[in-house]
Amino acid sequence: VNEDEENQDTAKIFKGYRPGKLKLSFEEMERQRREDEKRKAEEEARRRIEKEKKAFAEARRNM
């Protein structure tokens, strides 16, 4: 009888979980990680270009 009760309790606990939910969450986290990396790379490229523009303008003024 106790084993049946435990199985029912376990079934109630896991009823809220869908199959594939963990995989979906991992895929979503991976997608977000890639987007963050892409965004950081784009920001770094913008900063580098801005720095080069300033250096070029400074060099032109010093000519």
Taking the C-alpha atoms of residue 11 and residue 52, their distance in angstroms, rounded to an integer, is 62
What pLDDT, on the 0 to 100 scale, is given for residue 56?
96
Average pLDDT over residues 28-56: 96
Q: Is the pLDDT of residue 43 over 60?
A: yes
pLDDT at 25: 80
Ramachandran region of residue 55, left (φ > 0), alpha (ψ -120 to 50) or beta? Answer: alpha
pLDDT tens digits for range 23-35: 668 888 899 999 9
pTM of the model as a whole: 0.54
**Mean of pLDDT values over 41-61:** 97
The tokens for 22 are 């963990």
